[in-house]
Structure 1
Amino acid sequence: MGTAFIENMSWEAFRDAVSEDPVVVVPMGSTELEGPHLPLGTDTIVADGVARRLDGGPGVLIGPTLPIGYSKWFLPYPGTITLETETLIQVLVEYIGSLIIGGVKRFVFLNAHKGNNAAIESASRRILEHHKVRMGMLSIWKLAHDLCAVKDQMAEEGRFTHSGELMTSAVMALEPESVVENRIRADTVKPLENSLLNLKNSLGETEFMGSVQIVFQKIQDVTDSGTLGDPTAATAEKGEAVIKRIVEYAQAFLVEFRKLPLD
């Protein structure tokens, strides 16, 4: 049995499904700067694509995908659309609150944009202050790094990078027509001399004396292209393997999440 999407259900079908104590999965992406070969909606495409491949049966419902998150640092690059963190928190509180009124008690955010993490955590904690529900989050790109790049060694890069090999592969698998293949090229964080500015990604994470910390930077000082890795080894076949691995993990997580007590 395929997983049901709330937006495609009648209210009566939703009411009946809620009586089975399902987990509602909330896919979250972004609309922001990516490399010149990828669409602005890459994170959303992947979050939605993973959600559509879940097969949780009657125990899982998929909520409407949120295509805009917190991407304020990318605003200097045209096409980026962002919400302030407090706005996003309020959107999440009201989204989840509506479903709580409808009887849902278990929620997992399926998040494909690290910039959403702070809002997801704050919203979840606010909700838990007032309701006896379960809140969780699955981080798609963290899974891509931990499972696919490091554990399974799928990436020639050896890690997950923004608009790099694994991200590009995932989009090739899910929405190949949106990848501009003649614009694929490797790029890195702009080189800087100070040892504290040995940046690893666009979020300002920097490795110093054996530990990764953060130095906040303007995005223009970090990248010209939006690509912070090497997508040249990306393939649709690799993307299918990445998505399959993430879906398998997510399904196993949801099974256990559904068993958690509500008290």
Structure 2
Amino acid sequence: MNTLAALHDLTGKTAVVTGGSRGIGRAIAGALAEAGADVVVASRKLDACETAATEIAKESGRRAEAVAFHAGHWADCDRLVGETLDRLGRLDVLVNNAGMSPLYTDLTGISEELYDKTLAVNLKGPFRLAVLAATHMAEHDGGSVVNVGTAGSLTASTRELPYACAKAGLNALTVGLAEAYAPKVRVNAILPGPFATDLSRGWAPEDPDEAPFVPLGRMGRPEEVAPLAVHLASAASSFTTGAIIRVDGGITRKV
């Protein structure tokens, strides 16, 4: 194994990926397994998690577990960490990827329920889960937390304002936790821009390879985020913490 490959090797590590059954989360979970990690796929729908876990195990030869989990519920965050340790015996990498961006007609039409749910899934739950995971990592062999936010947190479009507010909080959480759990735990964030996933079908162009509003001229693909997550999870990024990295095709190049 060459030096670069060795730095990215996650053999013997256990990674938890929330929202890991589809889209960007599924790509990250698969990439972490390919790098050698055992993986826990966590999302609301157990059957989708089980399908993804079975596929990942078959493709990578690594162990993959499925856990039903709601990112907005603190009790589920506690249970996810507990089940990971019970089943796999360790926790080295957390990817806080679960999120939601509900549609609304106008700002005055946003209900308290919608606002609270958006903040819970995108910020409250990730806060609790990251604190639990990082505390465990700091008390053991160290580790890495990767928060998946959005480039929209830097621009705050009125079409997704509660979501952008929550993800801006996730940026702040990343910086704060990087200080709180150093030196044994590194905490970084990835900010995807417009990506072609099932969640973007409501607003994305019909042809994802034709997106003139993106400087690179197209939508991103989930597999274009996954290698960065592996990098941040591994020893290859051993001097990187508190970083907020944009993967957005240049959308926020002037922000």
TM range (shorter): 0.3 to 0.5
> What TM-score do you get using the length of structure 2 for normalisation?
0.39
Is the radius of gyration larger for structure 1 or structure 2? 1
Flag the structure with more relative contact order, 1 or 2, with Cα contacts below 8 A and sequence separation at least 6.
1
> What TM-score do you get using the length of structure 1 for normalisation?
0.38
